[in-house]
Amino acid sequence: MPVTVLKAAPGQPPQTAADIADTVQMMLARLGTGGAQVALEYARHLDGWRGDVTVRRAHIDAAIAEVPQSLKDDIRWAHDNISRFAAAQRATAQDMEIELRPGLVAGQRQIPLSAAGCYVPGGRYTHIASALMSIATAREAGVADITACSPPNGALGIPPAMLFAMDLAGATRILTLGGVQGVAALAFGMFGAPAADILVGPGNAYVAEAKRQLFGPVGIDMFAGPTDSLVLADHTADPETVAIDLAGQAEHGANSPVWLATTHRPLADQVLARIPAIIADLPDPNRNAAATAWADLGEVVLCDTVEEMAQYADAKGPEHLHVQAENLPWWRQRLRSYGSLFLGEETTVAFGDKAAGPNHVLPTSGAARYTGGLSVHKFLKTVTWQRVDQRALPDLARVTASLSRAERMEGHARSADIRLERCAQRAEAVNDG
């Protein structure tokens, strides 16, 4: 049976506007030809930043000294989790080789990228955790050179706690640059940085569009849109907890959808009743962002069965999927479409956003149906190799020539033929000797 919609989302997250795409295209063209000087012009005009773009070691050390010890300890605690999880992921990416047939050996290598560009968003919030998620993961993957950039917070520049996190995570250099000019500096290699092999990290619509337009010559983690979250809850869930979790994720921004699917109508009614008051209790500007997101994009649906809830989740492909229901092992095995899965009432998406360990840079806007989030694997190239000797060559050359001619690719066939002929000649010479 179709799900029953108890609260519809009257609005839809805005798509990248044509004017944003045009603006980014023009900016990237100027930055590509004008280089660092144009980046400085944009930094002064758009961010009001007139200080050094490259954050010097003495400035980093002075900023770190300003960070309270308790906050340093907490950042280190989160960094330890993130780094250890990334290191465990790295251990799963192994070189290997296999002898497919006698004399035919093939294999793969895991090669870290040489240079990564990590964009760390700023603005309304100081995204300390984002610095850890991107930089520490690149470092654990084995990337040798990591450039991180973040927009200035007024005359202060990059906030001290952010600088501490970037430095702790292993940034080779830190640039005080945001927006399109920051992305371009990473991609093109400005201010002493090499051109990045990959651009990673979340950002606003202009940052996302810049990454999209640069993709090809440079890799990107993903084309990210507004963050989104889905809660699946049954009769065992606590309505207050569910409501707080939804409201908490809505504060990301006015364009950040939050959804609830449940098999329990009383829970849905209580959540719908509580969310407005929970949002109203948030401070500004969080309250306004969450209120708009909930009013325009929030959705609550009632399902008949847990299988219907699972189907609803798979169709949504949410960035964050939180199950607050019984029989968690069943959910872990059944669900197939999400950026990151949060199992049980004791966990929360906020844990994953900040400190739990798995990466919080995740696919949005339904992209979780076909891809996962940022991981050490994004910073590795899986390349293959092969080696052939006389034992495998006759059959391999014969089959290659046959398939090539079936495909009307005579040049390919002849490159196999010559090896087959020489193999036969060598064998004949051995017999004559």
Active site residues: 319-320
CB 90 within 8 A of CB 112: no
The position carrying tokens 């199992």 is 343
Which element (helix H / strand E) includes 12? none
What is the tally of helices (H) and strands (E) in the chain? 17, 14
CB 91 within 8 A of CB 81: no
Q: Strands 4-7, 320-324: parallel, antiparallel or unpaired by DSSP?
A: unpaired
CB 334 within 8 A of CB 43: no
Q: Amino acid identity of 289?
A: A
Partners of residue 272 on adjacent β-strands: none
* Distance separating alpha carbons of residues 163 and 146, to the nearest angstrom: 14
CB 146 within 8 A of CB 116: yes
Q: Order of strands across the sheet with 145-150?
A: 173-176, 145-150, 115-119, 198-200, 219-220
Report DSSP letters for 136-194, one per residue: IHHHHHT-SEEEEEE---GGG-S-HHHHHHHHHHT-SEEEE--HHHHHHHHHHT-TTPP
* Distance separating alpha carbons of residues 225 and 137, to the nearest angstrom: 21
